[in-house]
């Protein structure tokens, strides 16, 4: 369950991230830890997300959170990138992970399958294209519900 402060925290963090050319990918508030940990995942919109991005975002967001005082008690702020074990959603993701093993899930069976594995070739308006054992295969984009990296390959 999402902590009730998360939408407000994302609203505060988004303009700060945009100022640095970053986007907020997600946030979670771990209140079961002492002190609680607020983790905000960011992504650089134009390149790899680096330590400098995390540091700039951390300083600016910490200053903003201290000014608005919506978290009354002590907490730890963590800024990080989400890593690569994620769902591919943006055009940039599909370009960056071309050639990587992926799993494509469909809303209904397509040619007898609802899950496809292969190396990502590309995505366009009509389909997601995979290489399966040297054979190019297109899955209609309208049927695709999820594409994520296959960490078992």
Do 83 and 93 contact (CB within 8 A), yes or no? no
| 39-64 tens-digit pLDDT | 998 988 888 888 889 999 999 999 99
State how far the Cα of 132 lies from the Cα of 124, in Å rounded to an integer.
Answer: 18
In which band, very low, low, confident or very high, does the pLDDT at 92 lie, cut at 50, 70 and 90? confident
pLDDT at 1 over 70: no
Q: Is 131 within 8 Å of 121 (Cβ atoms)? A: yes
Mean pLDDT within 16-20: 96
- What confidence category does residue 17 fall into, taking pLDDT thresholds of 50, 70 and 90? very high
Q: Report the CATH architecture of 91-149.
A: Roll (2.30)
Peptide bond connecting 72 to the previous residue in cis, omega within 30 degrees of 0: no
In this predicted model, what pLDDT tens digit does every residue of 113-139 receive, in sequence order?
Answer: 999 999 999 999 999 999 999 999 999
Could you tell me what percent of the chain has a pLDDT over 90?
58
pTM of the predicted protein model: 0.57
Kindly report the CATH class assigned to 6-80.
Answer: alpha beta
User: Looking at the predicted structure, is the pLDDT value of residue 147 above 60?
Assistant: yes
Q: Is the dihedral of CA 82, 88, 92, 97 positive or negative?
A: positive
Q: Residues of CATH 3.30.300.70 domain(s) within the chain?
A: 6-80
Residue 85 has pLDDT above 60, yes or no: no
**What confidence score (pLDDT) does residue 32 get?**
85
Residue 91: band (very low, low, confident or very high) from pLDDT cuts 50, 70, 90: confident
Residues of the chain with CATH 2.30.30.100: 91-149
């Amino acid at each position: 369950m999402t902590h009730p402060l998360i939408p407000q925290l994302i609203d505060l963090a988004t303009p700060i991230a945009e100022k640095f050319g970053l986007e907020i990918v997600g946030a979670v508030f771990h209140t079961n830890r002492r002190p609680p940990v607020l983790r905000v995942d960011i992504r650089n919109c134009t390149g790899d997300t680096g330590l400098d991005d995390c540091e700039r975002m951390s300083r600016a967001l910490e200053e903003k959170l201290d000014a608005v005082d919506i978290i009354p008690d002590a907490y730890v702020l963590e800024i990080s990138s989400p890593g690569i074990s994620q769902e591919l959603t943006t055009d940039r993701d599909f370009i960056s992970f071309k050639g990587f093993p992926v799993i494509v899930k469909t809303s209904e069976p397509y040619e007898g399958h609802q899950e496809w594995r292969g190396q990502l070739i590309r995505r366009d308006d009509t389909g997601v294209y995979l290489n399966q054992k040297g054979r190019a295969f297109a899955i209609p984009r309208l049927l695709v519900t999820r594409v994520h990296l296959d960490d078992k390959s």
